[in-house]
Structure 1
């Protein structure tokens, strides 16, 4: 059977992946886990998410499904932060004899949950119509992610994978400052990058894979395969851990991005890949955010933003000028695209007027007075007017990304890009 679980955490603590890791060990008393567990990130723009908007799925072969179901439900009741208004757990159980029947419909549901907005009733209706065993707690919003995670497990061949090694703290340490040796994370990065990424941010000297909330996670190493994330984790020096789990994930895949033919189709709470032309010099607003508009071929415009947490990425954005052709990736809120990546496709030429150059000595001439042209004092040569020169742009066409400290879970890091004939500039 496949088990999907979502929404057991809160802003203050707990973590659905921790429950998944706990069940990985405990359910072995009832059967055999058949594959790596899944950690699925859903639409990152959903306003009622708790923290990372993640669901998990486990696949187990068992002769006692009733005992498995009872155990999972009891663990959710025990560990989920039910007292939090935003915590509304859900769990779904897919029997093996239903795999083929449910694979296409839940595969579509999974993709929709990552890219679109799904209401609770839609998930409940689907469960009722298809006769899927499930249990919702409180308003049951977690049933959305639970169904999506099951759809992902049923369709492993249909989506891009990365992996994350998650280490969990001993329970008595929850809510206290994490004890980690910062330099060991930089060592792990040096030895495993680019097979791993987003462990550290070199420019800001930050460790970015250690959370700061009260949840059970000590650190999470993301990478291309289970072996490389385990190698990186083995180099970390930190407080003792209770347990760990390696999850297969859709993190770092750009799975959330939609394509549109017209900016008129853009909706809030969705993520896009947009191509357009810069319409104005980027401006810095209160808070340090950098904003500029782009226009599509139909004349529709949308504002794009490099927000303050993107740090030095804003220096790049400030170099854009009207006429530059760009492709942007990011999520839309309040009709503004929060930039995750930018491909600068072409740079518009910029020009300035300057005094003419003497053909003999190569130096700029001086003005001879109002309406009297220009003269080289050394050579005596004359010219009638100023000349127009192209300004060298302090910018190179290519693909750029926000730094690791500002990267969203689903955004594909440039070390994973395989574009040909494009300059790629990974943020490190």
Structure 2
């Protein structure tokens, strides 16, 4: 049986992954937990999300499915942040004898939940048509994520990474997390690039430690179970109540939809599109850097490197009209929030300087307004200034926002395979 849960937390507390970890321990009384649980990040632009817009699922072999479902529903009801207006839990169960019958439809629903904007009725109607056991609380919005996680569990072929999540003892919830940051940095150095987004070196920040009042102490992300475990065991911290290692779509770019035309772009979706820089980037109030791009049909849209992307904005500010770039990011209010980019070509920037004397090699002086240039030493003359190329300070290649600004789903450049590097050229991982 597959058990999936979503939307049990709030901005103030709880965590759906923690509730999932509790249930996996408690349900051992009724059967055997199979494999690793999964953590699925859904469409990052959805405004209804409590924090990270994630759902979870795990699988259990049991001869007492009714007791399992009763226990799960009871604990979700007890531990969810139901007092929060934004919290609307959902639980979906897939009995083992139904898995193959619902696999294809739920796989499609999973991808839609990551890339599209779904309504609560989309989930409720599919649950009804497939006759799946489920339970929703309040408006039942969590049924969307829960159903998507079922689809991910039944269709495991998607690109995946792992996250080791360590949880705090309950008495510590809401207090400052006690984690030795030097041990985090040492652990990061020991396993990078097989782990990432543990430390943001450029911005001198430890990014694997959350700040909300939820039960998570820290989370380490990486390519496999072994590296995230090694890193986590090197971290010196307050006591850990429990931990769980999730297989996840984090760091995969699964949310990105490739398009060729700006006309095909819609708000609250995420895209990859090749376009030409149309205007020079400008920095507006708040430190956000904005500029326009144009596609091959002449349509334009704004792109943004917002203030939280920190040093990434320094790169963006060097763009010039005519630069050809592949942009990846999410769209809100007709503006693409850049997550990463691939510079395909750069225009040549030039400046006018006094011409060089062909005899002595020194710069000529102006001979007067409208009279060209003259070398006082050699007497040589020139009518027009010389154009010289200005070094742009950027190279063709792939760039990304720093770890402190990276979205859960965004694929870090350290995960690029050799074939991607061969295709796209230089890669500049943010560190």
> Normalised by the size of structure 1, how large is the TM-score?
0.99
CA distance in 2, matches of 1:196, 1:152: 23
In the other structure, the counterpart of 1:77 is 77
In the other structure, the counterpart of 1:283 is 282
Structure 1 counterpart SS, 2:358: coil
CA distance in 1, matches of 2:123, 2:369: 77
In the other structure, the counterpart of 1:202 is 201
Structure 2 counterpart SS, 1:37: strand
Counterparts in 2 of 1:314-329, with a 5 A limit? Answer: 314-329=313-328
In the other structure, the counterpart of 1:23 is 23
Structure 1 counterpart SS, 2:75: helix
In the other structure, the counterpart of 1:426 is 429
Structure 2 counterpart SS, 1:82: coil
Superposed displacement of residue 227, structure 1: 0.6
Counterparts in 2 of 1:161-200, with a 5 A limit? Answer: 161-200=160-199
In the other structure, the counterpart of 1:241 is 240
Q: Is the 8 A contact 2:260 2:274 kept in 1?
A: no
- The answer to whether the aligner puts 1:64 opposite 2:81 as a matched pair is no
Post-superposition CA distance 1:302-338 (Å, at most 9, x none): 1000000000100000000000000111000000001
Counterparts in 2 of 1:310-349, with a 5 A limit? Answer: 310-349=309-348
Q: Is the 8 A contact 2:207 2:403 kept in 1?
A: yes
CA distance in 2, matches of 1:423, 1:280: 25
Post-superposition CA distance 1:106-156 (Å, at most 9, x none): 000000000000000110011111101101111110000000000000000
Structure 1 counterpart SS, 2:241: strand
Post-superposition CA distance 1:164-191 (Å, at most 9, x none): 0000000000011101101111001100
Q: Is the 8 A contact 2:421 2:427 kept in 1?
A: no
In the other structure, the counterpart of 2:52 is 52
Superposed displacement of residue 371, structure 1: 2.4
Gaps of 5+ in 2: none
In the other structure, the counterpart of 2:392 is 393
CA distance in 1, matches of 2:412, 2:292: 24
CA distance in 2, matches of 1:153, 1:416: 23
Q: Is the 8 A contact 2:250 2:411 kept in 1?
A: yes
Counterparts in 2 of 1:394-413, with a 5 A limit? Answer: 394-413=393-412
CA distance in 2, matches of 1:57, 1:385: 71
Q: Return structure 1 stretches of 4+ with deviation > 4 angstroms.
A: none
Superposed displacement of residue 380, structure 1: 2.2
In the other structure, the counterpart of 2:106 is 106
Structure 2 counterpart SS, 1:36: strand
CA distance in 1, matches of 2:261, 2:373: 51
Superposed displacement of residue 415, structure 1: 0.1
Post-superposition CA distance 1:380-410 (Å, at most 9, x none): 2222221222222211111000000000000
Farther-moved stretch of structure 1 (350-359 vs 301-310): 350-359
Structure 1 counterpart SS, 2:36: coil
In the other structure, the counterpart of 1:350 is 349
Q: CA RMSD in A?
A: 0.8
CA distance in 1, matches of 2:303, 2:367: 47
Farther-moved stretch of structure 1 (377-386 vs 77-86): 377-386
CA distance in 1, matches of 2:320, 2:266: 26
Question: How many equivalent residue pairs?
Answer: 427
Superposed displacement of residue 411, structure 1: 0.2
Counterparts in 2 of 1:26-45, with a 5 A limit? Answer: 26-45=26-45
Counterparts in 2 of 1:350-369, with a 5 A limit? Answer: 350-369=349-368
Superposed displacement of residue 259, structure 1: 1.4
CA distance in 2, matches of 1:116, 1:144: 12
Post-superposition CA distance 1:45-99 (Å, at most 9, x none): 0001100000000101001001110111111011000000110000000011111
Structure 2 counterpart SS, 1:156: coil
In the other structure, the counterpart of 2:97 is 97
> Normalised by the size of structure 2, how large is the TM-score?
0.98
Structure 2 counterpart SS, 1:73: helix
Structure 2 counterpart SS, 1:44: coil
Gaps of 5+ in 1: none
Superposed displacement of residue 229, structure 1: 0.2
CA distance in 1, matches of 2:178, 2:240: 11
Structure 2 counterpart SS, 1:232: helix
In the other structure, the counterpart of 1:295 is 294
